[in-house]
Amino acid sequence: MHHKLTTPITDEAIRALHIGDTVSLNGIVITGRDAAHKFLVDRYVKADVIAAEDKDLYDELKKLLDGGIIYHCGPVVKKNEDGTYSFVAAGPTTSIREEPYQADVIRHFNVKGVIGKGGMAANTLAACAEQPAVYMHAIGGAATLIAQSVKEVVTVHKLEFGVPEAMWVIRVEDFPVVISMDSHNKSIHDIVQAESQVKYKELLGI
């Protein structure tokens, strides 16, 4: 089934999604990779007190991520003559690196979707069922094509992490993704792995 969703996304819309569904995603998305996830967990999720210098960003991220989307992406970005930015390439990066952080980030910020490639593991799947949230698989190798869905770079946070690791706030239109982990404890990645193990044993005659 195909869905068209716009951020912020409601719990009801997330519960209506199932593995294999396709989605055209619209609205605000925030990129975040290793440095961003570690920052979010260390400075916000697990902090007893949020430092004064981090408070404004925390308040902003709480608003953006409430019902929002995190995209595991290290974009190629061009700075325009007027000081604005444009995405040249925006392909997904491997998501499993964020597994130590993702469930905490989903729960703390009420994130409704994570975009990446390769899938994630049990902790993230459990958070998706609880929150609810979904994991959205983007097309690997289509970085330039995906960048065409990025209509505006709204702003950027933590640029000191470097361009690929910064948190870019972007507005997307009809960003194409497939639901590969849903809020009903189903994961295409787990299914493929289990079926592959069966086929592997058959081939070896085990």
Q: Which residues are catalytic?
A: 37
How does DSSP classify residue 168? Answer: E
148-160 b/e (C-beta count within 10 Å ≥ 16 → b): ebbeebeebbbee
What does the block give as tokens for 17?
């999604």
DSSP three-state, residue 90: coil
Measuring CA to CA, which residue among 12, 158, 182, 29 is closest to residue 92?
29
